Every structure is written in C-alpha cells, then in structure tokens.
Chains A and B, each alone.
Chain A
Amino acid sequence: MSAGRVTPVGSFLATFMVTDMNKTRTSGRTIGGLRTLSLQAPAVSLLFLWMIVPLAMTVWFSLQRYNLLMPGMTGFAGLENYEYLFTDPALWSAMGTTLLMVGWVLVITVVGGTLLAVLFQQDFMGRGIARVLAISPFFVMPTVSALVWKNMMMHPANGVLSWVAESLGLPAVDWFSSLPLTSIIIIVAWQWLPFALLILLTAMQSLDEDQVEAARMDGAGPIAIFFFITLPHLKRAISVVIMIEMIFLLTIFAEIFVTTSGGPGLATTNLAYLIYIRALLDFDVGMASAGGVVAIILANIVAIFLVRMVAKNLEN
C-alpha cells in the first residue's frame, strides 16, 4: 500500500497495519520492531481511542431516538434523524452560511495573504517589525478578537469604524444588525489573514532570486514576474493554506458564540453552530449526532486532498 493512498476514511486500516507490521517485522531487526511497538504504542493507541470511540458513538447516536428532555423516548430510529435533518430548512440555511463564510474568508485571506507576502518580501525599513505586527492577530484568542471587533471596532455608536465613517461624511453602519454575516467574515478573515501571510512568507524564502533577476534582465516587469514566477512558486503553499483553512473554517464557533449567537434569525448560524444548538440547547442528541456525521463527512472530503498532498511531500 503506498502512503499516498492513505486517506482519513481508510485510516483505521493503517492503524491495524501498524500493529501488524511489528509482528511481521519488515525491517528485519527484532529489537527495532519491538522498540517501535513500545515507543509508539502510547501515542497511537491514545489517538486511536480519541478518534474511534467518539466517532462510533456519534454514528450510533445518529441512528437513535435520543433526546435528553424526553428520557422515555428511546430506541432505534434508523435514518429518521437524517430524514428530519435533511428536510429541516435550518440545515440548508446553515450549509449556505458555512459555504459563504468559508468561501469569502478564503478569498480574502489567500489573495490578501499572497499580496502581503510579496510586499513583506521586499526590502524596506523596519520590515521585520512590520511583519511581526501583521502576523500578530493569529495569536489572539478567538473570543478576544471577536469581542474587540464587536465592541470597539464595529459598535454602531462608539466604534472606531463608525467614527471613521462619520469623519468622512458617510452614514455609520450598524454592522451586526444590518450586515451580520459580513461582520463575522471580517473578524474571521482578520484572524486568518496572518496565518496565510505567515505560511506564504515562509514559502517565499525558497524563491530562487537568480531566476527573478534573470527574468528582470530579460525585461519582465513586476507584474509579469508575479504571475509567471512568484505565483507558480507559491502554488503548493497556497493550496496547503486553502486546505488547512477549510478544515478549521468549516467549524467556526467561538466568533459566532460571543457575537451574534447565530442570529439574527439564522443569519449567522453555520453547521457547527447548528449542531451546538441542537445538542446543548435543544438536547436532541440523535439529531445533533446526525449533523455531526454530516460535518465529519464534509471535513473528510477536504482532508483526503490535504493528506494526499502531505503524503507526496513525505515521499521526497
């Protein structure tokens, strides 16, 4: 089995092979095999439990009639939960919201991050400090960034943004009531732009300066250099950024929790927040688990590509 074909879905198989290989000992060193087993066992078995137990439980619960508020109503439900889930307009609205959030944040952070990485690669005074400042938001805990933006930046009366708008003679915007989804997207993009920048800046370091110089000699302008040398060089790093962000952005939670609580209405309820509502507010374990299974499947679709890419990289 080539490593490139290991996918999250097929990953249980890989685990069993890990144990198996220690018996068959492909390396031919008994001590090595034994040592491998004992050294890796804690990490592998703990992670395996952490993955398989909750996963199995989620799938199991999703097939059960199980509501903490109705202790009498239990039993096998078959696909009933899924039926309710997929006919619930809230799910489709949450899916749409998730898609919009992920999509817009990706566009802003990847385009912005690439341009910023190119800019911060140029030589200027105090570049190191400017870089550090621009990367900082990534290290701010999500609850802090959400509340700082909600109160100090986007407050309709006393926020900095409304003050700026008024100074320019524009009407102040009541961000969270008139543009709730946009507001959340701005906050999340602010947190993840530095992530994209950090990764892409690192990737820029390995850009061949001689190649750029040669292109310049041949009369290529900065725009041509960007599109024909820089961008192709960054292609791989950009796809890594996109995939990692997708996995995290699919389940944005804290930013919604402390600002809009999913509202007004369902305007900012994404899949993660919907599952939270069903589970910890409605106590409908069965339904929430069905939602969980959907989230897991969605994340896995992205994950397969990411794992393949990392696997390819590991082979070199």
Chain B
Amino acid sequence: MTTARTHSVSGASASPVKRSPLASTLLNRRLWLGVLGWTLALMIFFPIFWMVLTGFKTEADAIADPSLIFSPTLENYAEVQSRAGYAKFAFNSVVVAFGSTLLALLIAIPAAYSMAFLPTKRTKGTLLWMLSTKMLPPVGVLVPIYLLFRDVGLLDTRTGLVIVYTLMNLPIVVWMLYTFFKDMPKDILEAGRMDGAGTLQEVIYLLLPLTLPGIASTGLLAVILSWNEAFWSLNLTSSQAAPLTAYIASFSSPEGLFWAKLSAASTMAIAPIIVFGWLTQKQMVRGLTFGAVK
C-alpha cells in the first residue's frame, strides 16, 4: 500500500530529490512480486517438472526419497518404445487428432464463411444453437453412442473416434473461424469479386491465405482438445484404436516398479501438445469462451 502511495505522490510532484528512494521502493516491489510470481508459477508447474525428471531416473531412484541429484538414464524411454508398443498408441493419437481436425476444418470453413460474409437474420441463432450442442454432456449420450458404435462395428476403431472428435469440436471450430473471418476487412473480398473472382476462388486465393494464422490456431486448438480427450477414448476403444490417453490409463493398475516408465511415456505423450498450447494460448481464449472474452 505504501508503495502505491509513494508512486502516486512522486508521479504528481516528480522532484529529482525524491527519485532515488522511490526508484528503490519500486525496484523492491518488482523484486518481491517477481519472487512471489515465480514461486507460485514453479509450484503449479512442479508436478510436470517432477514427471519429466522421473522419466530419466531408474525405477529404484524414482521411488527413493525425492532428490534432484541422480544419474540420468534413457532406459525408460527405450523400454516404453520397444516393449509397450508406444508407437502404436502414438500413431492412433496422431491419426485421430489430426484426422478429426482436418475434417472439422473442411466442414467448418464453408459454414463460417457464409456466416461471416453472407449473414442473414438466422445466423446468430445458428451459431448459438451450435454452441448449445457443446453443452450436451457426453455421459448423457454414452449409452446410445456405445450401442450404435457396437452395432455398426465402430467400437475400438480410429474411424469411430475421428467421427466423435470431429463432431465434438465442430462448434468450437466454426465459432473460432467465424470470429477470425469477421475480423477480416470486407473490402478485400469485395475487390476480388469486382475482379471477377468466383466464390471458390475468393475463398482459396483471398480468404484462406489472409486468415491462415487464425485457421492455424483454430486447428491447433482442435488438435489439443482431441489429443487430450479422455471420456470417449476410454469408453469407445480398447486395444486396437486406443490413443495415448487410454494407453496412459492402463498404468493405473500397476504391478511392480513402474513410475519411471509411466513418467517417460507421459512426457512423450504431453510434450508436443504443451508446446502447441504455449503457441496458441492467446487465440485459444476465443475458442474456449466462444468469443465472450477477447
């Protein structure tokens, strides 16, 4: 409180004599804020840090008293790769996350285009209705989806998961694209139309290149959401199509020493997505809040 007041007083009078104590209090304040901010940030991040570290320990070190000093090993990574068939689950995750994202973008781009550039009275209603489909709790429709998938042979298939994830993310993808398209100046498209560009050309040569950053971050958000989805993947897959979320869950009933291997597998499973998350955090807010917070 005192710091704030000092700050304001000096801001008003700004005499050179008072500068030096003020500068030091400000510096002090910055220092303490820094210490507090970093302490809390590190505490929140600690479980992830600890997991990465444990992945490089031997199983014996992993369960020993917590220590930062140990001889690092890559043996867990090698073992997870060779014995547990990590590659298969990773492959499933990649196919399902990227497949569903591409499909969602393909379906959403035309819809978002027409909503942003050819709005009618009903556009708002359609957008809100799309949002409302997101509110249907997955567990409420678990039974019918499970039975339908069983009957048509989609249980434990990548195709099945791609379908579910595409539909799960479609509303968010449409919304996000819509907000990005709306931000684009209309004149450019108008000019293109004057020059005789058809709708398809307009979209391919003008809209897509100009909104590529927005489309990319929309895609990244969809990838993140699909990659981390754990309700449908746990319930609809078992051995064949299981993505990493389900594979990691198989560590929950362990025999013997397994922490280091769990950590190595987990680190590999989350590393790419955390980086994606860091890259898109700003744009992500739009998608996650349906444009309600910008």
Binding site for B on A (CB under 8 A): 1, 3, 6-8, 11, 14-15, 17-18, 21, 26-27, 29, 32-33, 35-36, 38-40, 42-44, 46-47, 50-51, 53-55, 57-58, 61, 116, 119-120, 122-127, 130-145, 147-153, 158, 160, 163, 190, 193-195, 198-199, 202-203, 206, 213, 216-217, 219, 221-223, 225, 236-237, 240, 244, 247, 250-251, 253-254, 257-259, 271-272, 275-276, 279-280, 285, 288-289, 292-293, 295-296, 298-300, 302-303, 306-307, 309-311, 313-315
B170 and A46: CB pair below 8 A?
A: yes
Chain A neighbourhood of B259, CB < 8 A: 151-152
Tell me whether B143 and A288 are in contact (CB under 8 A).
yes
A247 touches B135 (CB 8 A): yes
Other-chain residue from A116, A124, A279 in contact with B146 (beta carbon distance below 8 A): A279
Sample of 25 A–B contacts (CB below 8 Å):
A7-B132, A14-B129, A35-B118, A39-B111, A40-B111, A50-B133, A53-B144, A55-B140, A124-B31, A126-B38, A134-B40, A139-B274, A141-B245, A143-B246, A144-B266, A147-B251, A152-B47, A158-B64, A193-B44, A198-B285, A237-B289, A253-B139, A276-B139, A288-B142, A314-B124
Contact of B285 among A11, A51, A140, A199 (CB under 8 A): A199
Residues of the B chain whose Cβ atoms lie less than 8 Å from the Cβ of A39: 110-111, 113-114, 118
A143-B252, A258-B252 known; 9 new pairs, CB 8 Å cut-off, are A26-B120, A40-B110, A50-B167, A119-B36, A124-B31, A125-B34, A141-B273, A251-B137, A292-B139
Q: What residues of B have a CB within 8 angstroms of the CB of A44 in the complex?
A: 111, 126, 130
Also in contact, A254 and B245, with CB within 8 A (given A142-B228, A247-B135, A293-B140): yes
Task: Determine if B142 and A292 form an interchain contact, defined as CB atoms under 8 angstroms apart.
Answer: yes
Check B7 against A58 for contact (C-beta < 8 Å). no
Residue of A nearest to B284 (CB): A198
Question: Complex: how many Å from CA A314 to CA B31?
Answer: 42
In the complex, what residues of B have CB within 8 A of residue A143's CB?
A: 230, 234, 245-246, 248-249, 252
Contact residues in A for B114 (Cβ distance below 8 Å): 35-36, 39-40
Known contacts: A39-B113, A126-B38. The answer to whether A11 contacts B132 by CB under 8 A is: yes
Of B48-56, B72-80, B184-192, B211-219, which binds chain A? B48-56
Query: Beyond A46-B170, A151-B262, A219-B8, is A130–B139 a contact (Cβ under 8 Å)?
Result: no
- The answer to whether B143 touches A292 (Cβ under 8 A) is yes
Q: Secondary structure of the B side of the interface?
A: helix
Q: Which residues of chain B are within 8 angstroms of A288 by Cβ–Cβ distance?
A: 142-143
B54: nearest residue on chain A (CB-CB)?
A: A152
User: Which residues of chain B are within 8 angstroms of A138 by Cβ–Cβ distance?
Assistant: 277
Are B135 and A8 touching (Cβ within 8 A)? yes
Interface size class of B (residues with CB under 8 A): 35 or more
Bound Cα distance from A72 to B63, whole angstroms: 52
Interface residues of B in 182-240 (CB under 8 A from A): 199, 224, 227-228, 230-231, 234-235
- B289 pairs with A199, CB closer than 8 A: yes
Q: Is B141 touching A141 in the complex (CB atoms < 8 A)?
A: no
Report which of A222, A236, A250 forms a contact with B293, defined as CB distance below 8 A.
A236
Residues of chain B lying within 8 A (CB to CB) of residue A148: 47-48, 50-51, 262-263, 266
Q: Contacts A14-B125, A40-B115; is A139 near B8 (CB within 8 Å)?
A: no
B14 contacts A by Cβ under 8 Å? no
Complex interface: chain B residues within 8 A of A217 (CB):
8, 11-12
A314 touches B291 (CB 8 A): yes
Please give, as numbers and ranges, the residues of chain B lying within 8 Å of A298 by CB-CB distance. 137
Task: Kindly state the separation between the CA atoms of A222 and B32 in the bound complex, as whole angstroms.
Answer: 15
